[in-house]
């Protein structure tokens, strides 16, 4: 296991940082602004076939039979696959996004076996010579279903009388083990201290129930893959994915192939946010190509993306928080019920861990339930589980602030977790930046700008744990002294720029001389996927290791060239230099100088970092938002938005800010408009961007990003992952702002115009008289709960 640069940044500070921390132009940028960059659907191979999927029209049904004979006979159809083309998989847990997933479930999600479990569930697939033939072929596949009653809502699915999806699913984590199958896959619990005693000491207690609807990651690029399998069984796949090594592993497993026989190239990726950490089309494309002996290209339509990929959980949450009259949180209790979709594996576990984690509390108990229901299997979505639980807790924290008449930022500061605070899920925090982000927000001009009637201001905090993980990255010094960098985690927005800056500073070469690529699975060792806010954190660590190898090698070569002892040679400030007994006797050699004589001094120069990056530190953030509520339409306008978040060390400030802003806006959409709307028939009614309403430019103001840096002592550059935390605070911050603007506490997401209007009407707040008399002016008025 490779060592990092120890627990201080001391070693790194010796390296002049010309590029790290600056706003370089990304090396992959020109192709992106000219349309030249190739995303998965942009690839084509001669002779390729069109692959299409037949999907279940029913939310829940037994498959009685599948007859593909007519489709197979249709001219132009070169292959048809069904469940018969995939061997059943034994129950085996694998890490997948944020919850362990079971291969037995993966094979069934990719292609239905005994049952279809959601509208859109894949039942068969064809490869044909044209779109028209493929569409016709799908219509010729005859599937006989026995339609079963369905259930979608999480609370309804937990009811003992609900239709049961899996006859062999018995709730884990419950003693004694239940003898009746249910939709509750798992019950989990964490507890510290004594909440009964804690609540007994509270001067004020707030208890609330919340409901959230499923939302989709909303990446603009649909899933797409192109696979070609040769007669000897070797396969090549081009795919848009957050983890091409994971795609390789899943395809190898599901299709019974050696891992080395599949080579996966990650195309440029048009957004993922966790939704592209699992497989849907890839095993189908490989299976079809294997059968047809021709390349098969598959692209999801937008409707398929909504119906057949993995939105996050809808949830029901109960939170109870108690505080003493001077504002100390004395006890916290929460119950989280999360939808997993068709198979077990919602992010309720991290939701449970995150719930009260930003606060220093002695008495906490959180219970979580993982519940299956007839909607697509949940996939990860940016800080999975945390936005939901923190929406609930941060809303209740705000109510405590109001009841005690304490400023909401001050209340959080008073209770904030700091270095050494024991988290409710066990370990003590190392150095963290929660209080710094709270202070940063307090100091803004935003915080004190006066508000008008029907306007309100809200604040909320949140965090994500962040991970490291297996990472390989290599640096090769070319004959002309330029450097080729190969990383193995797909670049979803700024990674290549960041790693090139690190490599340039480590080796003392100009930034423009470093060319980074994302290598395919055949050209670099295993890399865990891009997710968990890990790619820059781990990638930079691996590049530092690769650079160390090169620097050590260059010193050895120089020592031999200069006939001096190894201890009299060092690499510093971009060159190998003689020191000690040999000081001043030899002209320093830059990397380019060494490259010129590489062959003569032993061969090509390069280094590889192969690590399981540890030492990830959490990134805390605090968001501040001003809203204006239109009492006549129920529309909530975001007037002003500020994000303060701890990046540890921002390798590339622009792309770190970009994560803050992008995550905040996803949270705004989650708060105000986005939701999966199901009909009574269990079918999705808004499977398109018109009615699945994500924020557009005219909905938003500028998003002010404040970069806080509390270095992570475990990383050579002090980096903390930043990608996920920004989606955690927005919903509560906005709910808190709306409460201030209207006096109404919303406990259901999204807080869309019809819901806001209804709530205002029910409370008589938008009658002509009320509007005329200035009801709803900011501040906590007579329109209390």
Binding segment for another protein among 299-307, 390-398, 515-523, 562-570 (CB under 8 A)?
Answer: 299-307
Tokens of 248: 């390789």
Cβ atoms of 372 and 407 closer than 8 Å: no
CA distance 100 to 96: 6
According to the binding rule CB under 8 A, does residue 539 interact with another protein?
Answer: no
Q: Which is nearer to another protein, 112 or 501 (CB)?
A: 501
**Binding string to another protein for residues 637 to 656, with x set by CB under 8 A, is what?**
---------------x-xx-
Residues 712-771 that bind another protein (CB under 8 A): 714, 723-724
**Which listed residue (170, 526, 562, 689) binds another protein by CB under 8 A?**
689
DSSP 172: B
In order of 124, 244, 554, 572, 651, the CA distances from 56 in angstroms are: 9, 28, 61, 63, 46
DSSP-assigned beta bridge partners for residue 464: 619
Least separation in angstroms between residue 420's CB and another protein is: 8
Least separation in angstroms between residue 492's CB and another protein is: 6
Q: Which is nearer to another protein, 700 or 771 (CB)?
A: 700
Residues 65-124 that bind another protein (CB under 8 A): 93-98, 100
Q: Which is nearer to another protein, 275 or 456 (CB)?
A: 275
Cβ atoms of 326 and 215 closer than 8 Å: no
Place of tokens 């959980």: 313
CA distance 471 to 526: 7
Residues 482-521 that bind another protein (CB under 8 A): 492-494
Cβ atoms of 127 and 68 closer than 8 Å: no
**Which listed residue (119, 153, 268, 436) binds another protein by CB under 8 A?**
268
According to the binding rule CB under 8 A, does residue 465 interact with another protein?
Answer: yes
φ, ψ of residue 444 to 5 degrees: the values are -75, 155
**Which listed residue (70, 139, 302, 560) binds another protein by CB under 8 A?**
302
* Residue from 107, 132, 39 nearest 287 by CA: 107
Tokens of 95: 């890490």
Least separation in angstroms between residue 776's CB and another protein is: 25
Binding segment for another protein among 30-38, 313-321, 747-755, 757-765 (CB under 8 A)?
Answer: 30-38
**Three-class DSSP category at 160:** coil
Terminal CA-to-CA distance of the chain, rounded, Å?
A: 57
Q: Which is nearer to another protein, 39 or 170 (CB)?
A: 39
**Binding string to another protein for residues 445 to 464, with x set by CB under 8 A, is what?**
-------------------x
According to the binding rule CB under 8 A, does residue 621 interact with another protein?
Answer: no
Tokens of 748: 């259901």
Q: Which is nearer to another protein, 592 or 613 (CB)?
A: 613
* Residue from 536, 225, 529 nearest 380 by CA: 529
CA distance 390 to 359: 12
**Which listed residue (147, 197, 220, 581) binds another protein by CB under 8 A?**
220
Q: How do 315-323 and 204-212 pair as beta strands?
A: antiparallel
According to the binding rule CB under 8 A, does residue 343 interact with another protein?
Answer: no
The number of residues that bind another protein (CB under 8 A) is: 110
Q: Which is nearer to another protein, 42 or 362 (CB)?
A: 42
Residues 579-618 that bind another protein (CB under 8 A): 612, 614-616
Binding segment for another protein among 33-41, 64-72, 322-330, 749-757 (CB under 8 A)?
Answer: 33-41
Which H or E run includes 571? strand 569-572
Least separation in angstroms between residue 325's CB and another protein is: 32
Give me the sign of the Cα torsion angle 281, 283, 288, 289.
positive
According to the binding rule CB under 8 A, does residue 429 interact with another protein?
Answer: yes
Contacting residues for 441 by C-beta, under 8 A, at least 6 apart: 409, 447, 459, 622, 623, 624, 642, 644, 706
Q: Omega of the bond prior to 638 within 30 degrees of 0, cis?
A: no
Binding segment for another protein among 27-35, 106-114, 118-126, 407-415 (CB under 8 A)?
Answer: 27-35
**Binding string to another protein for residues 130 to 149, with x set by CB under 8 A, is what?**
--x-----------------
According to the binding rule CB under 8 A, does residue 341 interact with another protein?
Answer: no
In order of 16, 241, 511, 590, the CA distances from 574 in angstroms are: 9, 36, 12, 6
Residues 167-196 that bind another protein (CB under 8 A): 172-173, 175, 186-190
Q: Which is nearer to another protein, 85 or 98 (CB)?
A: 98
Contacting residues for 84 by C-beta, under 8 A, at least 6 apart: none
Place of tokens 């190998």: 576
Binding segment for another protein among 25-33, 251-259, 393-401, 544-552 (CB under 8 A)?
Answer: 25-33
According to the binding rule CB under 8 A, does residue 301 interact with another protein?
Answer: yes
Q: Which is nearer to another protein, 461 or 725 (CB)?
A: 725
φ, ψ of residue 744 to 5 degrees: the values are -100, 130
Q: Which is nearer to another protein, 172 or 259 (CB)?
A: 172
CA distance 359 to 414: 9
Least separation in angstroms between residue 60's CB and another protein is: 27
Least separation in angstroms between residue 160's CB and another protein is: 22
b (16+ CB within 10 A) / e for 764-773: ebbeeebeee
């Amino acid at each position: 296991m490779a060592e990092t640069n120890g627990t201080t940044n001391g070693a790194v500070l010796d390296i002049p940082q010309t590029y790290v921390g600056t706003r370089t132009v990304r090396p992959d940028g020109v192709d992106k602004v000219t349309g030249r960059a190739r995303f998965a659907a942009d690839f084509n191979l001669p002779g390729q076939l069109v692959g299409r999927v037949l999907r279940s029209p029913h939310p829940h049904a037994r498959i009685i039979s599948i007859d593909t004979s007519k489709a197979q006979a249709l001219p132009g159809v070169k292959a048809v696959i069904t469940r018969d083309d995939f061997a059943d998989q034994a129950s085996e847990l694998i890490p997948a996004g944020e919850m362990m997933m079971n291969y037995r479930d993966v094979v069934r999600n990719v292609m239905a076996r005994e049952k279809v479990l959601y509208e859109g569930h894949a039942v068969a697939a064809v490869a044909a010579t044209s779109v028209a033939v493929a569409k016709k072929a799908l219509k010729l596949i005859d599937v006989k279903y026995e339609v079963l009653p369905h259930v979608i809502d999480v609370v309804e699915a937990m009811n003992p009388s609900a239709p049961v999806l899996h006859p062999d699913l018995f709730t884990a984590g419950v003693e004694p083990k239940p003898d009746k199958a249910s939709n509750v896959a798992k019950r989990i619990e964490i507890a510290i201290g004594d909440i009964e005693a804690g609540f007994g000491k509270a001067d004020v207690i707030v208890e609330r129930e919340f409901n959230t609807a499923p939302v989709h990651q909303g990446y603009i690029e649909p899933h797409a893959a192109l696979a070609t399998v040769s007669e000897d069984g070797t396969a090549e796949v081009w795919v848009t994915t957050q983890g091409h090594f994971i795609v390789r592993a899943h395809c190898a497993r599901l299709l019974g192939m050696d891992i080395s026989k599949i080579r996966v190239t990650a195309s440029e990726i048009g957004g993922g946010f966790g939704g592209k950490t699992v497989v849907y089309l890839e095993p189908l494309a490989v299976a079809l190509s294997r059968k047809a002996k021709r390349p098969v290209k598959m692209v999801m339509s937008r409707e398929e993306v909504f119906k057949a990929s993995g939105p996050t959980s809808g949830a029901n949450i109960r939170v109870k928080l108690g505080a003493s009259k001077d504002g100390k949180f004395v006890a916290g209790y929460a119950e989280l019920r999360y939808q997993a979709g068709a198979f077990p594996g919602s992010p309720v576990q991290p939701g449970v861990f995150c719930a009260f984690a930003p606060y220093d509390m002695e008495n906490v108990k959180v219970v979580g339930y993982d519940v299956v229901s007839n909607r697509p299997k949940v996939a990860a979505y940016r800080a999975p589980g945390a936005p939901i639980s923190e929406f609930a807790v941060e809303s209740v924290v705000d109510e405590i602030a109001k009841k005690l008449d304490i400023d909401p930022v001050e209340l959080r500061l008073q209770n904030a977790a700091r270095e050494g605070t024991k988290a409710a899920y066990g370990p003590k925090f190392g150095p963290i930046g929660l209080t710094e982000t709270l202070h940063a927000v307090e100091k803004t001009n935003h915080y004190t700008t006066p508000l008008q009637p029907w306007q309100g201001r809200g604040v909320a905090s949140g965090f994500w744990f962040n991970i490291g993980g297996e990472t390989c990255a290599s640096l090769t010094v070319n004959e002309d002294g330029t450097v080729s960098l190969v990383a193995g985690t797909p670049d979803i927005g700024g990674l290549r720029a960041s790693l090139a800056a690190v490599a340039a500073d480590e080796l003392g070469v100009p930034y423009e001389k470093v060319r980074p690529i994302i290598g395919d699975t055949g050209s670099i060792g295993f890399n865990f996927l891009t997710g968990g806010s890990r790619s820059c954190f781990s990638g930079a660590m691996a590049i530092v290791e690769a650079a160390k190898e090169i620097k050590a090698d260059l010193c050895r070569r120089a020592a031999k060239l200069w006939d001096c002892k190894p201890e009299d040679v060092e690499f510093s400030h971009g060159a190998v230099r003689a020191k000690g007994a040999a000081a001043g006797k030899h002209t320093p050699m830059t990397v380019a100088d060494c490259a010129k004589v590489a062959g003569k001094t032993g061969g090509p120069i390069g280094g590889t970092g192969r690590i399981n990056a540890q030492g990830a530190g959490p990134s805390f953030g605090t968001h501040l938002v001003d809203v204006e509520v239109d009492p006549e339409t129920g529309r909530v306008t975001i007037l002003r938005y500020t994000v303060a978040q701890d990046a540890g060390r921002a390798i590339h400030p622009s792309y770190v800010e970009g994560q803050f802003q992008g995550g905040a806006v996803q949270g705004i959409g989650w708060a105000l408009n986005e939701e999966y709307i199901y009909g009574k028939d269990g079918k999705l009614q808004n499977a398109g961007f018109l009615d699945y309403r994500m924020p557009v430019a005219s909905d938003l103001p500028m998003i002010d990003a404040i970069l806080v840096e509390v270095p992570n002592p475990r990383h050579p550059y002090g980096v903390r992952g930043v990608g996920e935390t920004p989606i955690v605070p927005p919903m509560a911050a906005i709910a808190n702002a709306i409460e201030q603007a209207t006096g109404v506490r919303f406990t259901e997401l999204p807080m869309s115009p019809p819901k806001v209007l209804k709530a205002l009407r029910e409370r008589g707040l938008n009658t002509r008289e009320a509007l005329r008399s200035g009801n709803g002016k900011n501040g906590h008025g007579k329109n209390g709960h």
